Structure 1
């Protein structure tokens, strides 16, 4: 089982501890219910004081808008906040940031766009060549190795 309630609770508690440390380091006084740090951070971040309180208590927060505001207020990458909050795992983040070549297939037109080929004739030639290469399988030798064309 990937995510259990206990795992979610532990993750939310670790996130709360991390957030408390981050806010304290930035000068927000969280020493008591009337210390003003929670309200001051809420005002600074644009997150409601009740939501800041829930995060600091260890309640799981899944609203990505709130987490985006938190990332912006702390000057941290949103991706790091999403991992810390348990929305995605570090492995999932890595797969998104660095997809394996087989995970991302694009059309010849998309490749032309990404390569900045804007001239109409050059685009037609590029797209045609890419489509031809996609249809053409290189010849193989009898032992299954690919042959390199003679030059």
Structure 2
């Protein structure tokens, strides 16, 4: 019975990962797409590691950290999905800690960002102006780093 549970966990992990990758434009199910190699290069992990992962083998901690950063998912979710940890291993979920999850795939307006960051009503206009200035500076420099930082 334990063997079946391990197989189910691996299948669940792989399905979840393939879905995330597909959402980001990687077709890792096709042998001819070249996306496995592209994924390895983009994520900064070895092609052999990508191959092992795509057979359903959960990567070691270092690779999970790299993947969680690359895929923009929390490390605790990655560890739970791979079966290396359970939800109860983490003291606080996002709801219990009062944190608001932010997806960097949808750019927040400066006003939305102010609300999400808990900026007081009196300071929101100032805050929004500063975020716009940071974004403008980044656009002029051709960099997304400050804008991404300003977005959360």
Question: Once the two structures are superposed, what CA deviation does each residue of 1:71-105 show, in whole Å capped at 9, x if it has no partner?
Answer: 0110111111001110001112237998xxxxxxx
Mapping 1:7-86, distance limit 5 Å: 7-61=5-59, 63-86=60-83
What is the alpha-carbon distance in structure 2 between the residues aligned to residue 90 and residue 21 of structure 1? 21
Cα deviation for residue 50 of structure 1 reads: 1.7
Is the 8 Å Cα contact of residues 17 and 56 (structure 1) preserved in structure 2?
A: no
TM-score of the aligned structures, taking structure 1 as reference length: 0.56
Mapping 1:82-97, distance limit 5 Å: 82-94=79-91
Moved segments of 4+, more than 4 Å: 95-98
1:104 matched residue in structure 2: none
Cα deviation for residue 31 of structure 1 reads: 4.2
What is the alpha-carbon distance in structure 1 between the residues aligned to residue 6 and residue 92 of structure 2? 22
What is the alpha-carbon distance in structure 2 between the residues aligned to residue 5 and residue 32 of structure 1? 28
Larger-Rg structure: 1
TM-score of the aligned structures, taking structure 2 as reference length: 0.56
Question: Over the residues paired in the alignment, what is the CA RMSD in angstroms?
Answer: 2.3
Change (3 A) 1:33 1:11: same
Report SS of the residue matched to 1:59: coil
The gaps in structure 2 that reach 5 residues or longer are 97-152
Question: Once the two structures are superposed, what CA deviation does each residue of 1:41-98 show, in whole Å capped at 9, x if it has no partner?
Answer: 111111112211222221233x100100100110111111001110001112237998
